[in-house]
């Protein structure tokens, strides 16, 4: 069996766009006619440029190869061009293609992917959700209102969720790590207190940021939110400074989580060595399923846990669930419930009382609605996620609008 054909579909989820402006889906076909699906999460270049990278990675390192030779193809891509070091864009391209290879292997062997990764440890995966506004919540007020966030949290708990994520401390920014404003600190503490009061011990609080703070600023923020006992403080400082991560971890009573912007075991090993206690690999960027399994094994050696990240489409979600099923140190998995997510995989993924039943069908356990994916092409010029260029404000609220891109 050999890999022969590649197709790429760039799909734009309908408004409000939870999951990003677009999802890069890859479809691989073998000479035996088996089709595998994957999803690339790299977002540092536009989708047309990324398509070219994906095609180049496939033609150089994977075309004509047996899809079972995952390690060989990874080493080719990882070493390409005299590198042998993490390259976000190349590994993002490879990650989606690698996921598709596992989908092919499962279908060829009539087994779910988790059975090929060591077997099932978890029959269902604890899910967590971001706090999104309901139809009664005005925007943008929702994003900076602790009481509205608490209302949303109660609704999530009533739906069965046992963990909710929110990030009221301002947007991601191109600037270096900064001190949060006192308003940002007070609002963050108020969010934690309001949500904790509303849900009691029925749910864990997951406090999100996007690497925007200086070391001391992150420590101050950690101290402010600690009384509400969040389960984690996500990505408190820029992802390229592991020494500073250690300083934050040493001074934070809240466990440090990170990983959305990291790729390969090389970077995740550094995060673990510098105090990260919860790893959040995005499988469409981290190196794919086999590399993520290695990352999880490293975490196990550090007595750390894994919570696969999702701000993408349902194919990456499906890969996350297959991985999580095989991990003894799986904490939970991020979930995005939209009609488009479910429809794109023909409702093969579900959330039941706050847990995701692990699909047992061959491969990733999903059926992709290719017609639906092609019916929603992306025609914008923005990136999947775009960082703010505006300076931090110290006299007004710094609003992060939940990652929902403005449709243009």
Residues 179 and 76 in one domain: no
Phi, psi for 121 (deg, rounded to 5): -105, -35
CATH of the domain at 357: 3.20.20.120
Q: Answer yes or no: is 380 within a domain.
A: no
Check residue 408 and give its pLDDT: 44
The verdict on 248 and 203 lying in the same domain is yes
Same-domain check for residues 45 and 99: yes
Is 47 within the bounds of a domain?
Answer: yes
Given 110, 136, 151, which residue is the final one in a domain? 110
Q: Are residues 281 and 156 in the same domain?
A: yes
Q: Is 279 in the same domain as 133?
A: yes
Q: Give the 3-state DSSP-derived string for the chain, with helices as H, strands as E and coil as C.
A: CCEEEEEEEEECCCCCCCCCCCEEEEEEEECCCCEEEEEECCCCCCHHHHHHHHHHHHHHHCCCCCCCCHHHHHHHHHHCCCCCCCCHHHHHHHHHHHHHHHHHHHHHHCCEHHHHCCCCCCCEEEEEEECCCCCCCCCCHHHHCHHHHHHHHHHHHHCCCCEEEECCCCCCECCCCECCCHHHHHHHHHHHHHHHHHHCCCCEEEEECCCCECHHHHHHHHHHHHHHCCCEEECCCCCCCHHHHHHHHHHCCCCEEECCCCCHHHHHHHHHHCCCCEECCCHHHHCCHHHHHHHHHHHHHCCCEECCCCCCCHHHHHHHHHHHHCCCCECCEEECCCHHHHHHCCCCCCCECCEEECCCCCECCCCCCHHHHHCCECCCCCCCCCCECCCCCCCCCCCCCCCCCCCC
Asked whether residue 390 is domain-assigned, the answer is no
Query: What CATH number is given to the structural domain containing 72?
Result: 3.30.390.10
164 - beta bridge partners?
129, 205
Same domain for 120 and 178? Answer: yes
Do 126 and 10 share a domain, yes or no?
no
186 and 255 together in one domain: yes
Name which of 220, 278, 206, 280 is nearest 248 in CA terms.
220
- Phi first, then psi: what are they for 361, rounded to 5°? -70, 160
Considering the domain architecture, whether residues 151 and 96 belong to the same structural domain is answered as no
pLDDT of residue 395: 87
392 found inside a domain:
no
In the listed set 110, 143, 174, which residue is the last one of a domain according to the structure? 110
373 domain residue, yes or no = no
- Distance (Å, whole) CA 345 – CA 145: 34
Q: Assess whether 259 and 164 both reside in one domain.
A: yes
In a shared domain, residues 164 and 223: yes
Nearest Cα to Cα of residue 133 among 120, 121, 142: 142
Query: What pLDDT score does 320 carry?
Result: 98
In the chain, the number of structural domains is 2
- Give the pLDDT means over successive 10-residue stretches in the chain (408 positions): 98 92 97 98 91 98 98 97 94 98 98 98 98 92 96 98 96 92 97 98 97 97 98 96 97 98 98 98 98 98 98 98 98 97 98 98 98 96 89 88 63
Domain that holds residue 216: 115-364
Whether residues 79 and 178 fall in one domain: no
Domain membership flag for residue 406? no
pLDDT of res. 404: 63
Query: Which of 364, 384, 401 is the C-terminal boundary of a domain?
Result: 364
Residue 379 located in a structural domain: no
Structural domain includes residue 213: yes
């Amino acid at each position: 069996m050999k890999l022969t054909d590649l197709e790429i579909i760039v799909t734009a989820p309908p408004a409000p766009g939870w999951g990003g402006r677009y999802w890069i889906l890859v479809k691989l076909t073998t000479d035996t006619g088996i089709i595998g699906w994957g999803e690339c999460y790299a977002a540092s270049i536009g989708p047309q440029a990324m398509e070219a990278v994906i095609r180049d990675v496939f033609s150089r390192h994977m075309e004509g190869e047996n899809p079972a030779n995952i390690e060989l193809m990874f080493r080719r891509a990882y070493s390409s061009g005299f590198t042998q070091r993490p390259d976000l864009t190349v590994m993002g391209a490879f990650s989606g293609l690698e996921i598709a290879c596992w989908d092919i292997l499962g279908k060829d062997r009539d087994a779910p992917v988790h059975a090929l990764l060591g077997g099932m440890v978890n029959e269902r995966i604890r899910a967590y959700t971001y706090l999104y506004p309901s139809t009664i919540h005005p925007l943008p007020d929702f994003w900076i209102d602790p009481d509205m966030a608490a209302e949303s949290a109660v609704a999530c708990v009533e739906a069965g969720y046992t963990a909710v994520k929110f990030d009221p401390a301002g947007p991601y920014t191109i600037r270096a790590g900064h001190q949060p404003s006192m308003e940002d600190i007070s609002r963050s503490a108020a969010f934690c207190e309001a949500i904790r009061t509303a849900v009691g011990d029925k749910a864990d609080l997951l406090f999100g940021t996007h690497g925007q703070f200086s070391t001391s600023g992150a420590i101050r923020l950690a101290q402010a939110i600690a009384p509400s006992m969040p389960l984690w403080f996500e990505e408190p400082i820029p992802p390229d400074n592991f020494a500073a991560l250690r300083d934050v971890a040493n001074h934070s009573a809240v466990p440090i989580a990170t990983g959305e912007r990291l790729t390969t075991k090389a970077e995740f090993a550094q995060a673990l060595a510098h105090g990260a206690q919860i790893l959040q690999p995005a499988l469409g960027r981290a190196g794919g399923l086999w590399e993520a399994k290695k990352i999880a094994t490293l975490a196990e050696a550090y007595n750390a846990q894994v919570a696969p990240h999702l701000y993408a489409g349902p194919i990456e979600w499906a890969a996350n669930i297959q991985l999580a099923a095989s991990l003894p140190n799986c904490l939970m998995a991020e979930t995005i419930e939209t009609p488009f997510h479910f429809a794109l995989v023909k409702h093969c993924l579900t959330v039941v009382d706050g847990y995701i039943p692990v699909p047992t069908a061959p491969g990733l356990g999903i059926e992709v609605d290719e017609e639906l994916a092609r019916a929603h092409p992306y025609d914008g010029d923005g990136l999947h996620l775009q960082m703010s260029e505006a300076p931090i404000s110290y006299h007004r609220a710094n609003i992060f609008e939940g990652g929902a891109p403005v449709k243009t």
